[in-house]
Amino acid sequence: MSSSTVDDRADDRWDDGLIARRAAERERAQEGEETLAEEAEDSLPPLGGQYGGSLRTRLDALHELVGLSRTRLANETLAEAGRVLDEATARQRLSAHHTVVAIAGPTGSGKSTLFNALAGVPVSETGLRRPTTSAPIALSWSEGSAGLLDRLAVPGRLRRRPLAGGAADEDLQGLVLIDLPDHDSAVTTHRDQVDRVLGLVDAVIWVVDPEKYADAVLHERYLRPLAGHAEVTFVVLNQIDRLGGEAADLVLDDLRRLLDEDGMALGEHGEPGATVLALSALTGDGVGELRELLGRFVTERTAPALRLSADVDAAASRLRPAYVSDGQTGLGERAREEFAARLAVAVGAQAAGEAAERVWRRSAIRACGTPWLRLYRWYERMRAHGSTDPRLQTPLEDELTARQRVEQAVRVVADDATRGLPAPWAQAVREAAARGADGLPEALDELTASIGDPAARPPRPAWWPAAVLAQVLMTLLQVFGALWLVGQIVGVVEPGLLPPVLIMLGGIVGGPLVEWACAAAVKGPARRYGQEAERKLREAAAACGRARVLDPISAELMRYREVRDQFVTVSGTRTGARVTRLGGGIGGIGGVGGVGGSARWGGTRAGARLR
């Protein structure tokens, strides 16, 4: 809508004067804000779009990490990470030119007095009545902070503007100061408001006094858990006018000691960390120094990114048990070979190879043996087994044992694959192995049946007909010699004992010699035939086990490696380097540091992603 249209409509509704002009200006401002909001919504950048490169990388990695983990981790585990992502998205929609700083502290610490001192005008109520502040009060040094205050749920009646203060106020342009209720208030709603706002502001000024600076509730509930947010934390020792110079220094040193025990890094000697100073909001001593520090802090416009980076560090620390493995993990070649060997035992690959070798040797001996010996062996088999089939049927107990061996093989390989994995991913691997094990024994049985029994029809080498012919010749010599002798006895043939006897002895001795030679010659081919039969059965069982069990396990391990790489990126440069250094293998993550220390850690990729 154009400016002239607004003016015309304003002229129709109001008489010309101050009220009309203010109404028109207010209407134009509202329409301008709505237009900017619509344009911002239409052109909203991707997650992390308004932040630095490292933070944007970490936010994108956290977003992908949560997406990849929803089917593996409980919603409660991912709740904090989801909250950080939601806050990042909500914060980037709002003004990047404002810095929201909350003033928090215990009852009677002088928060409201300091708030008024920074404002230059009595904005927040002060007095002996406790609690004095019952709701958050906002103080904005510039326009355009309405969206931020709406996000903090600060009512319009509690939004204030400071008095014009010259150059000092110019340095605070963009600052939004929030006076919070007492965190140790007896009113539960006051404490809830403090906790809610502290999770949304860009920075916090903790105001303590000489009496309550060591309060256990303050340190254990707030300062220690927020130690990783040191760079966006100010700790102010107020009411130093009640102490002497030396006493104030002693109390300030003890406060620094307590903060160090809380794990909060102190920004001393130019190092990043929390800012600690002493002042008196009542007398104004040290307030100017705090205003100067706040001015530089607001001018840098890095507080939202620093706060969000610390939130990402805290989320990564909470997610660490779900992604960090204890030592080297994965499924090594040795575990795969042992799994294939167990399946081979379950399907009886070695026994089948030995049976094939025996059958081939027996067939060779049977084909090349003397007829008299074959008759004798046939008689022995009939008497011993009552059957001509030399192969015994597999008892039911052996079949049950084979099934148990398959199940044991799956359990062992699953244990090897999950060793050292975080609990959620170990459970996912076990479930994948269990799904593969379901029906694996039946699949192995069908596979064995499709391959066929190698002992059923063993191949015959080319020299077998010659050996059989030689054995027939030896038998004919025996028969011929015997008939010759019978003919001499009957008188049909002229007497002569030596020739027929020699012919018979040649056949009698030659038959076993031919059989022995065949048995010796068949050892090598029979062994190779048995080994080939065993190899085929082993490879078939291994392929079946790989398709049903190992491949699903490997897929879960690959998924874990992908989320682990994303977690390394989320953790940042320092923690990510430590993770990579301490870990190894597919799950090679050894440890991640805490969230204490600098919040300026950038995000870097620690390994190539697997797709």
- Kindly report which listed range (1-15, 42-56, 263-277) carries the lowest average pLDDT score: 1-15
pLDDT of 20 above 60: no
pLDDT of 142 above 60: yes
More confident residue, 155 or 10: 155
Q: Where are the alpha helices (DSSP H) in 419-497?
A: 423-437, 440-451, 464-490
Q: Which residue is listed with tokens 């359990």?
A: 411
More confident residue, 359 or 159: 159
**Mean pLDDT taken over the chain:** 76
Residue 578: the pLDDT is 39
Per cent of the chain over pLDDT 70 is 74
Range with the largest mean pLDDT of 262-271, 394-403, 512-521: 262-271
pLDDT of 74 above 60: yes
- Cβ atoms of 341 and 406 within 8 Å: the answer is no
**DSSP state letters, 151-186:** HHT--GGGEE-PPP-THHHHHTTTEEEEEPPPTT-S
Residue 454: the pLDDT is 58
Whole-angstrom distance, CA of residue 545 vs CA of residue 330:
17
pLDDT of 589 above 50: no
Residue 453: the pLDDT is 61
Chain centroid offset of residue 243 CA: 53
Residue 457: the pLDDT is 62
Residue 374: the pLDDT is 67
pLDDT of 574 above 50: no
Tell me the pLDDT band of 102, cut-offs 50, 70 and 90.
very high
Cross-strand bridge partners of residue 179: 103, 137
Average pLDDT over residues 57-77: 89
Give the H or E element holding residue 234: strand 233-237
Tell me the pLDDT band of 229, cut-offs 50, 70 and 90.
very high
CA atoms in the 13 A half-sphere facing the CB of 259:
30
Q: At what angle do helices 333-347 and 396-418 cross, to 10 degrees?
A: 170
Per cent of the chain over pLDDT 90 is 21
pLDDT of 72 above 60: yes
**DSSP state letters, 327-346:** S-BS--HHHHHHHHHHHHHH
**DSSP state letters, 32-66:** HHHHHHHHHHHTPPSTTTTS-HHHHHHHHHHHHHH
- CB-neighbour burial class of residue 534 (10 A; exposed 0-12, middle 13-18, buried 19+): buried
- Beta strands 137-140 and 175-179 are antiparallel
Q: Which residue is listed with tokens 């390989």?
A: 413
- Kindly report which listed range (143-147, 525-529, 564-568) carries the lowest average pLDDT score: 525-529
Residue 30: the pLDDT is 53
Whole-angstrom distance, CA of residue 84 vs CA of residue 63:
10
Residue 483: the pLDDT is 82
pLDDT of 83 above 80: yes
* Domain 97-300 belongs in CATH node 3.40.50.300: yes
Residue 540: the pLDDT is 87
Short-list 217, 220, 212, 260, CA closest to 236 = 212
pLDDT of 6 above 50: no
Tell me the pLDDT band of 28, cut-offs 50, 70 and 90.
low
Residue 461: the pLDDT is 67
pLDDT of 224 above 50: yes
SS percent in the chain: helix, strand, coil, step 5: 65, 5, 30
* Report field, pTM of the whole predicted structure over 0.75: no
Residue 378: the pLDDT is 72
Residue 165: the pLDDT is 53
Tell me the pLDDT band of 191, cut-offs 50, 70 and 90.
confident
Q: Print burial letters for 76-88: b (CB count within 10 Å at least 16), e (below 16).
A: ebbebbeebbebb
Residue 601: the pLDDT is 31
- Kindly report which listed range (60-69, 241-250, 572-581) carries the lowest average pLDDT score: 572-581
Residue 208: the pLDDT is 94
Give the pLDDT confidence of 286-334 residue by residue, as tens digits.
999 999 999 999 988 889 989 999 999 999 999 998 888 766 677 788 8
pLDDT of 521 above 80: no
- Cβ atoms of 429 and 72 within 8 Å: the answer is no
Residue 45: the pLDDT is 42
Whole-angstrom distance, CA of residue 285 vs CA of residue 240:
9
Short-list 421, 420, 413, 411, CA closest to 559 = 421
543 φ/ψ angles, rounded to the nearest 5 degrees: -65, -40
Residue 290: the pLDDT is 93
DSSP SS3 for 143: coil
Short-list 58, 77, 30, CA closest to 424 = 77
Residue 237: the pLDDT is 94
- Kindly report which listed range (272-276, 489-493, 599-603) carries the lowest average pLDDT score: 599-603
- Beta strands 175-179 and 99-104 are parallel
- Kindly report which listed range (60-74, 153-167, 200-214, 541-555) carries the lowest average pLDDT score: 153-167
Tell me the pLDDT band of 511, cut-offs 50, 70 and 90.
confident
Average pLDDT over residues 65-88: 89
Average pLDDT over residues 589-602: 32
Short-list 590, 594, 598, CA closest to 564 = 590
- Kindly report which listed range (137-146, 156-165, 379-388) carries the lowest average pLDDT score: 379-388
Whole-angstrom distance, CA of residue 385 vs CA of residue 28:
108
Q: What are the CA-CA distances from residue 72 to residues 322, 433, 559, 590 (Å)?
A: 10, 15, 10, 21
More confident residue, 353 or 233: 233
- Residues with Cβ within 8 Å of 58's Cβ and at least 6 positions away in sequence, in order, are 48, 309, 312, 569, 570, 572, 602, 603
